[in-house]
């Protein structure tokens, strides 16, 4: 065990934890004022539900002994054998508990990301059951495939901090949910205007801050790889914020604050799989591409007609996919991508993208249908009119 | 007695208040309101999607004055609120049947 690494990863875990309330503010500002609390709740309560589920079963399914490359066993259920030393730990420089809690924070934020797709119209009870099942049936297998000794990692797919596990998986789930739950009442005729953009921008800034723990911490050591991941994360994010506003300036005539915040998040998403495999200069190139590609990505919902309320598909789905593929192109650090003459890596990345989208979309479809027909997921038109804060929680965010 | 409602741009509040106080108006009521006239609303853009916002924030100043003072008040308010651009607002004048001062019970012009 390495004490410096331990200190670093514990701090990183705390940074990643802060991303979830950051996401709550990011999403909370984007909805109408009558839905601000329900939207914040769908992120915040994941800190409760996902953490407990992770300790009970999620961690074991993700990092327990490999079963056929598909799922982990029950070795670590109820954190049995997960202790204060490095015994059985996937990272032999860290206490097993440190590795577990760092991974826990990823499991917390991923289902929260999906909630942006069905914001302003999802019942709370159904949401909780859906999210619990999603963690066990989608997140845990994905996590095992990529990081827990499963087939995707064995195949050589590069995913430094969760491009597939966190972003593509949540993006694919978001697309499925947005299609299945249907549009918000008044979609197409009512203006769904963000009620508090300063809140959203503060949330984006917190995400940016926390993402250093997300990506640099994924080096699992306080070393040069962590430094590289930290710098590539920052550079890609900065570049994406610039390229997003450049794109919207040319397309719409104005550079908006929401555009700057959205571009930053797009850059964070896209660099996530690549953070430890590219140089800072290639990270800038990747970020510049991500801002423009994700700006295009948010136009998809208008083209195809689904109501992905807060653009989870356009930013996390498209950005994660772009980042995964570009990792196969731009990898020069600890791996070789297309620009190093290794076309095979791009093929591996492509296979991992297709598999992630197909598995996460299909499994989310099944979970959604089961929960919808048993507990119910969509709010009634009356509840939507009233606002989900009152309808689901008997509270209001603001007293006028 | 007349009630004069001045609906105009929010940043004109201080100028209109000063102008009316300057000619002897002793009291007024101010509200933040939203609406639209020929000016229409404005366009807002969020992540590339355009929204037409119909209701524009304005202020409404209400004063009640004696009949023969109303013309001066309207003219002072009009001059103070004027910019010459679309969206300067409207002034409505309407008759008032009765006024009661709650503290003293006075009625009519004595209560204004």
Closest A-chain CA to B46: A258
A247-304 pLDDT, tens per residue?
999 998 999 999 999 999 999 999 999 999 999 999 999 999 999 999 999 999 989 9
Chain B nearest C-alpha distance from A310 (Å): 10
pLDDT value for B49: 86
Q: Measured between CB atoms, does B49 come within 8 Å of chain A?
A: yes
pLDDT value for B95: 97
pLDDT value for B50: 85
Q: What burial class does residue B29 get, using C-beta atoms within 10 Å of its C-beta: 0-12 exposed, 13-18 middle, 19+ buried?
A: exposed
Q: Please, what is the end-to-end C-alpha distance for chain B in angstroms?
A: 9
Residues 6+ apart with CB under 8 A from A390: A34, A396
Within 8 A of A194 by CB-CB distance, chain B residues are 46
Q: Measured between CB atoms, does A262 come within 8 Å of chain B?
A: yes
pLDDT value for B43: 86
The first and second tokens of residue A369, run together, are: 């249908």
A77-98 pLDDT, tens per residue?
999 999 999 999 999 999 999 9
The first and second tokens of residue A248, run together, are: 């919207």
Chain B nearest C-alpha distance from A259 (Å): 6
Closest B-chain CA to A248: B48
d(CA A112, CA A128): 11
Q: Measured between CB atoms, does A194 come within 8 Å of chain B?
A: yes
d(CA A34, CA A38): 9
Q: What burial class does residue A131 get, using C-beta atoms within 10 Å of its C-beta: 0-12 exposed, 13-18 middle, 19+ buried?
A: buried
The first and second tokens of residue A109, run together, are: 């934020």
pLDDT value for A190: 84
- B47/A259 CB distance under 8 A: yes
Within 8 A of B49 by CB-CB distance, chain A residues are 302
| Closest partner CB to B51 (pick from A193, A299, A302) | A193
Within 8 A of B41 by CB-CB distance, chain A residues are none
d(CA A313, CA A173): 9
Interface size A-B, in CB pairs within 8 Å, comes to: 28
Q: Measured between CB atoms, does A307 come within 8 Å of chain B?
A: no
pLDDT over 90 (residue A185): yes
Q: Measured between CB atoms, does A259 come within 8 Å of chain B?
A: yes
- B51/A256 CB distance under 8 A: no
pLDDT value for A189: 83
Evaluate whether ipTM surpasses 0.90.
no
A126 vs B51, higher pLDDT: A126
| Closest partner CB to B48 (pick from A191, A194, A252) | A252
The whole-chain average pLDDT of chain A stands at 97
Chain A nearest C-alpha distance from B51 (Å): 6
pLDDT value for B38: 81
Q: DSSP letter string over A33-81?
A: GGGHHHHHHHHHTHHHHHHHHIIIIIHHHHHSSEETTTEE-STTGGGTT
A37-67 pLDDT, tens per residue?
999 999 999 999 999 999 999 999 999 999 9
Instruction: List beta partners, residue B43.
Output: B52
Q: Measured between CB atoms, does A183 come within 8 Å of chain B?
A: no
Residues 6+ apart with CB under 8 A from B83: B9, B12
Q: Which residues of chain B have pLDDT under 50?
A: none
Residue with tokens 């950005």: A319
pLDDT value for A92: 95
pLDDT value for B109: 87
d(CA A341, CA A270): 22
pLDDT over 80 (residue A350): yes
User: A365-387 burial, b if ≥16 CB within 10 A, otherwise e?
Assistant: bebbeebbeeeebbbeeebbeeb
Q: Please, what is the end-to-end C-alpha distance for chain A in angstroms?
A: 55
User: What is the pLDDT confidence band of residue A188, given thresholds at 50, 70 and 90?
Assistant: confident
Contact A287, A239 (CB under 8 A): yes
Query: Mutation test of the interface with chain B: which of A31, A193, A306, choosing the one with the most B Cβ atoms within 10 A?
Result: A193
pLDDT value for A153: 96
Instruction: List beta partners, residue B5.
Output: B62, B92
Compute CA distances A6 → A19, A51, A352, B33, whole Å. Answer: 20, 20, 31, 58
| Closest partner CB to B45 (pick from A256, A298, A302) | A256
pLDDT value for A302: 86
| Closest partner CB to B53 (pick from A191, A298, A299) | A191
Chain A nearest C-alpha distance from B35 (Å): 16
pLDDT value for B42: 84
Chain A nearest C-alpha distance from B47 (Å): 6
Lowest mean pLDDT among A42-51, A189-198, A202-211: A189-198
| Closest partner CB to A248 (pick from B44, B48, B53) | B48
Cα A180 from chain centre: 20
Q: Radius of gyration (Cα) for chain A, nearest Å?
A: 20
pLDDT value for A337: 97
pLDDT value for B40: 80
Lowest mean pLDDT among A224-228, A300-304, A395-399, B71-75: A300-304
What is the helix (H) or strand (E) element at residue B66, kind and residue range? none
Query: Mutation test of the interface with chain A: which of B47, B50, B52, B55, choosing the one with the most A Cβ atoms within 10 A?
Result: B47
User: What is the pLDDT confidence band of residue A107, given thresholds at 50, 70 and 90?
Assistant: very high
Contact A123, A249 (CB under 8 A): no
d(CA A70, CA B97): 83
The DSSP symbol for A275 reads T
């Amino acid at each position: 065990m390495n004490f410096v690494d331990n200190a670093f990863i514990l701090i990183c875990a705390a940074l990643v934890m802060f991303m979830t309330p950051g996401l709550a503010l990011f999403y909370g500002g984007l909805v109408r004022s009558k839905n601000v609390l329900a939207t914040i709740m769908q992120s915040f309560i994941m800190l409760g539900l996902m953490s407990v589920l992770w300790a009970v079963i999620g961690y074991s399914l993700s990092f327990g002994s490999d079963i056929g490359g598909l799922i982990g066993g029950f070795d670590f259920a109820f954190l049995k054998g997960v202790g204060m030393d490095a015994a059985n730990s996937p990272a032999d420089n860290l206490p097993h508990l440190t590795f577990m809690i760092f991974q826990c924070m990823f499991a917390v934020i991923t289902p929260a990301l999906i909630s942006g797709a069905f914001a302003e119209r999802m019942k709370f009870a159904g949401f909780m059951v859906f999210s619990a099942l999603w963690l066990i049936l989608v997140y845990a297998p994905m996590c095992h495939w990529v990081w827990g000794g499963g087939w995707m990692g064995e195949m050589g797919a590069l995913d430094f901090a969760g491009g597939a596990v966190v972003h593509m998986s949540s993006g694919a789930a978001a697309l499925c949910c947005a299609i299945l739950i249907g549009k918000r009442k008044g979609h197409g005729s009512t203006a769904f205007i963000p009620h508090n953009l300063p809140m959203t921008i503060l949330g984006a800034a917190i995400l940016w801050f926390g993402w250093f723990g997300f990506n640099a911490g994924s080096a699992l050591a306080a070393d040069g790889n962590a430094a590289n991941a930290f710098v590539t994360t920052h550079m890609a994010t900065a570049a994406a914020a610039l390229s997003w506003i450049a794109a919207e300036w040319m397309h719409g005539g104005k550079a908006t604050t929401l555009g700057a915040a959205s571009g930053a998040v797009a850059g964070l998403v896209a660099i996530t799989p690549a953070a430890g495999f590219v140089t800072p200069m290639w990270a800038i190139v990747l970020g510049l591409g991500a801002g423009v590609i994700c700006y295009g990505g948010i136009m998809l919902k208008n083209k195809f007609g689904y109501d992905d309320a807060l653009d989870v598909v356009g930013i996390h789905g498209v950005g994660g996919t772009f980042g995964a593929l570009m990792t196969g192109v731009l990898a020069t650090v600890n791996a070789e991508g297309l620009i190093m003459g290794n076309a095979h890596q791009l093929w591996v990345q492509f296979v991992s993208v297709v598999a992630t989208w197909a598995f996460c979309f299909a499994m989310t479809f099944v979970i959604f249908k089961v929960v919808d027909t048993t507990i119910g997921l969509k709010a009634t038109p009356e509840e939507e009119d009233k606002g989900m804060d009152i309808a689901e929680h008997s509270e209001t965010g603001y007293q006028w | 007695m007349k009630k004069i409602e001045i609906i105009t741009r929010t940043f004109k509040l201080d100028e209109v208040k000063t102008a009316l106080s300057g000619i002897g108006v002793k009291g007024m009521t101010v509200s933040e309101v939203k609406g639209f006239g020929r000016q229409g609303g404005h366009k807002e853009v969020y992540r590339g999607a355009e929204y037409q916002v119909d209701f524009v924030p304005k202020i409404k100043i209400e004063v009640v004055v004696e009949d023969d003072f109303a013309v001066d008040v309207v003219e002072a308010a009009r001059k103070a609120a004027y910019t010459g651009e679309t969206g300067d607002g409207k002034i409505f004048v309407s008759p008032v049947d009765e006024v009661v001062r709650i503290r003293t019970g006075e009625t009519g012009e004595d209560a204004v």
